Amino acid sequence: MSKKSDIQQVQKHLVSLDGQSRRAFLRAMFYTAGAVGSASWLVGCGGGDSVQGDSLTPTPADPVTPVVPTPPPEEPGLVGRFADLGPLEDPDIYGVRSPAGFTTRVVAINNELPQPNGMAAASPTPGGIGNRPWHIFPDGAGVVPRDNGGWIYISNSEVPGIGSLGFTFPALSGLTNIIEQFTPGLAQVGTLVFDPDGTIVDSYTILTGTTFNCAGCVTPWKTWLSCEEFPNGQVWECDPFQAGEGLARPTLGFFSHEAVAIDPNERLLYLTEDMPDGRFYRWVPDPADWPEGAERAALQAGRLQVMAVGGDGVEGALTSPQPITWIDARNPHLPQNEHRIAESTAFDGGEGVWYFNGIVYFATKGDNRIWAVDIAAQTVEIIYDLATAEAPNNILSGVDNLFVTNQGDVLVAEDGGDMQIVAILPDRTLKPIVQVVGQDASEIAGVAFSPDGRRMYFTSDRGGRNGFGGFTNGLGMVYEVLLPDSL
């Protein structure tokens, strides 16, 4: 069979799978095939106001003072940026459905060099920007502002490796974790550098040699945290302002990392684990690692903790907030799937996580739920549950990446589902923002905004050209949507 026929057969099989099965299939396929700042909501994980400092060198420790919890500021009357959004119109030439007034362009396609004004719809354009074609399977992403008014879009590459087999087959994780240490991963993190007018002026890589990098986080000090999703995966800190390599941050734990969110007020990090029996974590820095008043955490020493839901438990969270406690992780320097704490609470497939206004939101794909952790009250509740949602709000499935606007909209990207980005408004009604059609083997991820909020970026992890001037299933692409002035 020809390579083209092989790809067509794989694409047909992918379309027949749901989002969770599709991911497992891709991991197995890649291994057996031999693929051995103006506002806080504009950054990649709700990490607070951007601050100066483009270096990974930790800020010297200030004198240690006791941490006094500060209650989050109240924001009464939030109605949501997308509350008055109109219906989605017919697909444009890029396969994107959006409301009236939205304009779409493609800014990156796998195996092609980015172009200054985006990618031509009909066919690849010779030449381009950067010295490496755009990576395959672009996934989680974020944006950092540049000093000249431009910005940098940062994009993970979700390429499986040997370690990923331990995710698909947990009984093998002990062996695959060992082999992974001696086998360089094929994932990477790439960038698109924009000038203030939206022209792409550069593209380079800031991390290579890792495995299955899913989501991550733009830090308040303008670095990028990239998460490896396999049982012995780590978090890597990268400098988005220049080509180079990231630094592993082992203090953040060893597990199938999906995403990170940072509460800069309480100086805490929150992390999701994408496994059926995954946990929800927080990282508490040692006092000298992130002293009060310091610009950044060194991310070298702290305590990894897991959440335990009390009261009426997880099911009670469907109807009212439930109390939570935190337990120090057992053997935090070892794979956590082998060192579970029975008293901690399992969450079925942790995905995106975001800090906003004293609340940490996170998604679990196995049960299609969106959770909200109230930091001051130390409670958790479910704000969206597909199984109990009633029309017209039962339009969200395959929950994955999250992004929260400064008006309180929780934007949820779908892995499968209807290939939509859906906004959960502050009143908990739902609004579809965009939908990608003709790419049913793909998923949406990488939601981020330019610093002025006018341009929304997202990926189709497994979208690509169809050879006839349109787009279909492929190896990944990045969209930009220009929002109307009314938003």
User: What tokens appear for 226 in the block?
Assistant: 């990239």
Q: Is the peptide bond before 392 cis (omega within 30 degrees of 0)?
A: yes
Note the pLDDT tens digit of each residue in 29-58: 333 333 333 333 344 465 443 333 334 644
Give pTM, 2 decimals. 0.86
User: What tokens appear for 392 in the block?
Assistant: 């017209």
To 10 degrees, the CA torsion angle through 361, 260, 313, 431?
30
- CA-CA distances (angstroms) from residue 242 to 9, 48, 329, 344, 414? 40, 23, 35, 40, 31
Q: Is the pLDDT of residue 265 over 50?
A: yes
Note the pLDDT tens digit of each residue in 87-108: 999 999 999 999 999 999 999 9
Note the pLDDT tens digit of each residue in 393-413: 999 999 999 999 999 999 999
Q: 138-145 and 187-194 as β-strands: parallel, antiparallel, unpaired?
A: unpaired
Note the pLDDT tens digit of each residue in 59-81: 444 434 444 445 544 445 688 99
Which residue type, as a one-letter code, is found at position 298? A
Q: What is the pLDDT of residue 7?
A: 37
Q: Compute the average pLDDT of residues 212-221.
A: 97
Task: Round to whole Å and give the CA distance between 232 and 254.
Answer: 5
Note the pLDDT tens digit of each residue in 420-452: 999 999 999 999 999 999 999 999 999 999 999
Q: Compute the average pLDDT of residues 260-276.
A: 97
Query: Got the DSSP string for 163-202?
Result: HHHHHHSGGGHHHHHHHHHTS---EEEEEEEE-TTS-EEE
Contacts 24+ apart (CB under 8 A), 372-377: 373/270, 373/280, 373/307, 373/324, 374/321, 375/72, 375/263, 375/266, 375/268, 376/69, 376/71, 376/72, 377/321
Those residues whose C-beta lies under 8 Å from the C-beta of residue 253, and which sit 6 or more positions away, are: 234, 235, 271, 281, 283, 304, 329, 332, 336
Q: What is the pLDDT of residue 187?
A: 95
Task: Give the percent of the chain with pLDDT over 70.
Answer: 84
Question: Which is more confident, 205 or 18?
Answer: 205
219 in helix, strand or coil? coil
- CA-CA distances (angstroms) from residue 357 to 221, 389, 448? 18, 25, 18
Q: What is the pLDDT of residue 160?
A: 83
Task: Round to whole Å and give the CA distance between 461 and 158.
Answer: 8
**Model confidence at 220, in pLDDT bands (50, 70, 90)?**
very high
Q: What is the pLDDT of residue 46?
A: 53
**Which of left, alpha, beta for 148 (phi over 0: left; psi -120 to 50: alpha)?**
alpha
User: What tokens appear for 56 in the block?
Assistant: 């990974």
Q: What is the pLDDT of residue 56?
A: 60
Where do we find the tokens 């220049």?
242
Query: Are the C-beta atoms of residues 371 and 383 closer than 8 Å to each other?
Result: yes
**Which of left, alpha, beta for 221 (phi over 0: left; psi -120 to 50: alpha)?**
alpha
Task: Round to whole Å and give the CA distance between 487 and 476.
Answer: 28
Task: Round to whole Å and give the CA distance between 302 and 175.
Answer: 28
The helix or strand, by DSSP H or E, that contains position 400, with its residue range, turns out to be: strand 399-404
Q: Tell me the domains of the chain and their CATH numbers.
A: 3-482 (2.120.10.30)
Q: Compute the average pLDDT of residues 297-302.
A: 98
Q: Rounded to 5 degrees, what are φ and ψ at 175? A: -75, -45
Q: 3-15 and 19-32 are packed helices; what angle lies between their axes, rounded to 10 degrees?
A: 150
| H, E, C per residue of 470-486 | CEEECCCEEEEEECCCC
What is the maximum alpha-carbon separation in the chain?
A: 67
Q: What is the pLDDT of residue 128?
A: 93
Q: What is the pLDDT of residue 76?
A: 55
DSSP at 34? T
User: What tokens appear for 98 in the block?
Assistant: 């959006």
Q: What is the pLDDT of residue 312?
A: 98
Q: Is the pLDDT of residue 250 over 90?
A: yes
Q: Compute the average pLDDT of residues 316-332.
A: 98
Q: What is the pLDDT of residue 223?
A: 98
- Count other Cβ atoms within 10 Å, centred on residue 466: 14
Q: What is the pLDDT of residue 1?
A: 43
Q: Is the pLDDT of residue 131 over 70?
A: yes
Q: What is the pLDDT of residue 481?
A: 98
Query: Are the C-beta atoms of residues 475 and 100 closer than 8 Å to each other?
Result: no
**Model confidence at 181, in pLDDT bands (50, 70, 90)?**
confident
Q: Compute the average pLDDT of residues 256-266.
A: 98
Q: Compute the average pLDDT of residues 135-143.
A: 98
Query: Are the C-beta atoms of residues 357 and 72 closer than 8 Å to each other?
Result: yes
Q: Is the pLDDT of residue 350 over 60?
A: yes
Those residues whose C-beta lies under 8 Å from the C-beta of residue 110, and which sit 6 or more positions away, are: 133, 134, 135, 136, 137, 138, 464, 474, 475, 476, 477
**Model confidence at 307, in pLDDT bands (50, 70, 90)?**
very high
Note the pLDDT tens digit of each residue in 12-28: 444 445 544 444 433 34
